[in-house]
Every structure is written in structure tokens, then in C-alpha cells.
Amino acid sequence: MIPTPRVVEVRKNVLKRNDEMARALRQRFAEAGVTVVSLVSSPGAGKTAFLEQTLTRLGADHRVAAVVGDLATENDAQRLARSGAPVRQITTGTLCHLEAAMVEEAIADWNIAALEFLFVENVGNLVCPSSYDLGEHLRLVLLSVTEGEDKPLKYPTIFNTADVAVITKVDLAEAVEFNWKLARASMEAVRPGMRIFSVSSKTGAGMDEWLRFVASLKCARVGGV
């Protein structure tokens, strides 16, 4: 059965190199006083809309920037740039996740000490990004109400490696008969005690609470992933 042991071994080395680079990045970020938050979700869960709102509103009082990954197109960077924040697009070609080296390269000519918050939007994928530490201090996993309440049970690793969950598109919750209790139970089953925010980037619902939380990370000492 595939994958063969040899593939697994090669993959281990790739992951080890990535982990070392991510640890070094996280230390650089901490020394520069920049809090790094990454976002993972399936395609279309609303990462970019949520991040655009976050950059716009958090950017009113803080120095924020973003790096965004996609297989192809600069669409997301263009959307995020509307917030006024510096934004870099990473295009991965056929790779289904970002790696620490890509983040490092994307921000190579930025003076990160001038930033307070850096957001890293991963490629839309509920599997591949889970194994790759990007040097972030906090990892968000987003789940839209239109996706189904059992996604955490079906993709346990990505929920397990995230620190905080954000339920998005709550304005559609009624239309899709979203079962809040079931969704929370699914998350609780794979990541007990996980903090959960519920937001609508369209109506703004829940954004105040999220923004207060993320702003508070600036002063707090945030732990590793």
C-alpha cells in the first residue's frame, strides 16, 4: 500500500528542516515584537474576507501586514491590499500548503520590527497545512457554517494543531440550518477546551470580540504552536 516507507522517510526530513526554520522564524518574530497569526481552512471558508476585515479594523490602531498563499493567482493579495496594509502573495504552484521557507522569503525585504501583527493566510486545505509549522504564534482554523458540523471529526489533525477556531459566515447559519451544538461538540471532541469565535465578515457580527482578543495578544506572551 502507498505511501511506501521511503516516501515517509523523505517526508520526515522535509518536515524536520521546516520545523527548524519555523522555530528560528518564531524567535526572530518574537525579538522584533511582532505577533504572528496564521489562518487555515478549506477553500472558500472565508479566510480572505475575515482577514480583510481584521486588517482594516486592527490596522486603525496597529501596524499590521499579511502574507497570503494560493496555488495560483494574486487575487487574494489584491483583495487584502484594499485594507491599506502591506500584503505579499505567495503562489505555490501545485503545493497544497505553505512552508516556513516561503514565509521567510516573502517577507525578506520587510523591516518586521516596524510591524505589530503579521497574518499568514495558508492555502485553502484542511489536510496539508497541518504538518507545517510556519513560525506563527497562534494558528486559527476557520470553519464556515455552510461546510457541515462534522468537519472537525473528519479532519481532526488540522483542528488539533490549531489554537483557536473561528466559525464564519454566521449570517447564513439559519439558511443552512447550522447545528451549533453539534459543531461545538465536534470541536470539543478533537480539541477539548478550544476557544471558538463566531463571526460574519459580511455583517460584522462577532468581529468586535475577535478583534479584542487578537489585540490582547500584542501585550501577552503568546506560546508556541
- Residues lying near its own copies in the complex (CB under 8 A): 1-4, 6-7, 10-11, 14, 17-18, 42-45, 70-73, 75, 94-96, 99, 101-102, 123-128, 144, 146-148, 150-151, 153-157, 169, 172, 175-176
- C-alpha cell at position 205: 457580527
- Is the bond preceding residue 3 a cis peptide, omega within 30 degrees? yes
Grouping H, G, I as helix, E, B as strand and the rest as coil, residue 15 is helix
**Residue appearing with cell numbers 505567495:** 90
90 versus 138: smaller Cβ distance to its own copies:
90
Measured from the CB of residue 37, what is the shortest distance to its own copies in angstroms? Answer: 22
Whole-number minimum distance, CB 28 to its own copies, in Å? 19
Q: Which is nearer to its own copies, 35 or 200 (CB)?
A: 200
Minimum distance from residue 24 beta carbon to its own copies (Å): 15
Cis peptide before 86 (omega within 30 of 0): no
CB of 210 to its own copies, least distance (A): 20
Residue 123 near residue 95 (C-beta atoms within 8 A): yes
Q: Are 121 and 39 in contact (CB under 8 A)?
A: yes
